[in-house]
């Protein structure tokens, strides 16, 4: 660690710490300094409530240099979908194969088959997974939202770099990472309940978590699954694509 701390810092600043890059952010809604890893860029991101808190945030991040460097070094490599690869899908494993007769991805027994090569093959598999994710998300979101008295909630899919889902209560709009279709169903359903609960509670306070449990039941194992295994869902991308990071 050769980086020499400064007296002042700015939001968005990128610091070269040798074994890793440290990005500084300011989040006025945050109550405390937080640290996370961005698997898209390989950067560590430390956030502070105010600009004046950034020196303390840098000190906090540097005190965890070994932890950051270890996680950055262990990041999985990006790999596109390709034939003869096994991928997770709704709690089971699918073998990817190449189809000679149909271009669009489709099930062939316990395999998922598509035509084409290289990036074209990857896109067809991803398109199939996105369609499956949308079906799952729309069904479960409607289920939980209607339980809370909300109808006509708009659902969309994204490939975010920071969250598994997000909710805009004023617009009755919820967005999910399409990659959740590669998690077990129980995990995806938990995220749907989590985001639906935000329609009533736009925060992560005790009332929000009580609502999640009322909607879904004991959720801790599935939240922990995302923290423990979630990063593995982001390894599937074309070489030029980014790998999003994960946070609840």
| Domain boundaries along the sequence of the chain | 14-73, 86-234
pLDDT single digits (tens) 19-57:
888 999 999 888 899 998 876 667 899 999 999 999 999
What whole-number distance in Å separates Cα of residue 127 and Cα of residue 207?
37
Would you state the pLDDT for residue 39?
61
CATH fit for domain 86-234, picks 3.30.2010.10, 3.40.30.10, 3.40.50.2000, 3.40.50.150: 3.30.2010.10
- How crowded is the C-beta side of 230, counted as CA atoms within 13 Å? 27
70 confidence band (pLDDT: 50, 70, 90): confident
What whole-number distance in Å separates Cα of residue 181 and Cα of residue 59?
38
93 by Cβ neighbours in 10 Å (0-12 / 13-18 / 19+) ranks as: exposed
pLDDT single digits (tens) 214-232:
999 999 999 999 988 888 8
Checking if the pLDDT of 245 tops 60, the result is no
239 confidence band (pLDDT: 50, 70, 90): low
Would you state the pLDDT for residue 4?
63
Would you state the pLDDT for residue 162?
65
**% of the chain beyond a pLDDT of 90:** 70
Would you state the pLDDT for residue 242?
41
Checking if the pLDDT of 109 tops 90, the result is no
Would you state the pLDDT for residue 40?
61
72 confidence band (pLDDT: 50, 70, 90): confident
């Amino acid at each position: 660690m050769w980086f020499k701390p400064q007296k002042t810092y700015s939001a968005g600043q990128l610091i070269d710490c040798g074994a890793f890059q440290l990005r500084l952010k300011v989040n006025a809604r945050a109550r405390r300094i937080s640290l996370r890893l961005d698997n898209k860029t390989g950067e560590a991101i430390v956030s502070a409530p105010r600009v004046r808190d950034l020196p303390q945030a840098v000190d906090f991040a540097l005190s965890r240099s070994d932890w950051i460097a270890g996680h950055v070094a262990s990041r999985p490599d990006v790999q596109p979908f390709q034939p003869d690869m096994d991928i997770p899908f709704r709690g089971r494993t699918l073998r990817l194969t190449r189809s000679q007769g149909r271009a669009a991805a489709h099930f062939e027994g316990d395999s998922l088959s598509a035509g084409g090569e290289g990036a074209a093959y990857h896109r067809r598999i991803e398109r199939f997974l996105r369609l499956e994710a949308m079906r799952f998300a729309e069904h479960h979101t409607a289920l939980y939202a209607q339980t809370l008295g909300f109808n006509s909630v708009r659902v969309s899919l994204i490939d975010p770099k920071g969250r598994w889902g997000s909710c805009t209560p004023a617009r009755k709009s919820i967005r999910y990472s399409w990659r959740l279709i590669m998690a077990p169903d129980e995990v995806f359903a938990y995220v749907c309940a989590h985001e639906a609960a935000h329609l009533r509670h736009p925060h992560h306070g005790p009332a929000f978590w009580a609502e999640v449990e009322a909607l879904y039941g004991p959720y801790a194992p599935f939240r922990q699954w995302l923290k423990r295994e979630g990063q593995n869902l982001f390894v599937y991308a074309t070489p030029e694509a980014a790998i999003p990071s994960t946070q609840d």
